[in-house]
Each structure stands twice: as C-alpha cells, then as structure tokens.
Amino acid sequence: MYDVVLHPRAARDLAKLEAVVREQIRKRLRGLKDSPRAGERLTGVRFLRLRIGDYRAIYEVWEQDRKVVELFIGHRRKVYDDFSNLL
C-alpha cells in the first residue's frame, strides 16, 4: 500500500473547488493507495495523470518511499498549461 501525499500546490488547488468535486477527487486519489499506476503516463515525462470527470490530477510515484505525490489538480483546460509552465 502507498501513501498519497498532496503537494502544497495541489492542496491549494483542491481547496478552491466545490465540495462535491473535492469529494469526487479525494475518492479517486484514495484509490491510488492500492493502484498507484492507475493513471496514464504523460508523454515525455515521468508523471502520470488521473482523469476525474472534467478535472485532472497530475502526480508522481516514488517507489522507494512508497508514496504517490499529487502535484497539480485542476480543470482539464488549464491544468496542463499550469503544469508545463513549471517544467
């Protein structure tokens, strides 16, 4: 079993969303504890994405620490631009 950890940026992103959407995302993130590679790998990078309706969670799996680190959470139209600006 893996620990799911929210990066401070992802925690801020999640807090801005409506309560219903937040709970849907939290439920899917909890599922990563047992299946950390459930998301699709992003092209050309080591990160994965998890689709949750119109929202996406971009994350990384740290095998040695058995952690799933959530980096970004946001609407599908914007999350990839925000993410690519930091790469």
Is 61 in a helix, a strand, or coil?
strand
pTM here is 0.88
- Confidence band for 77, pLDDT divided at 50, 70 and 90: confident
Q: How many CB atoms lie within 10 A of CB 46?
A: 8
- Structure-token pair, residue 35: 């299946």
What pLDDT, in 10s, does the model give residues 22-44? 999 999 999 999 999 999 999 88
Structural domains in the chain plus CATH codes? 3-86 (3.30.2310.20)
Percent residues over pLDDT 70 in the chain: 98
CA 50 to chain centre: 6
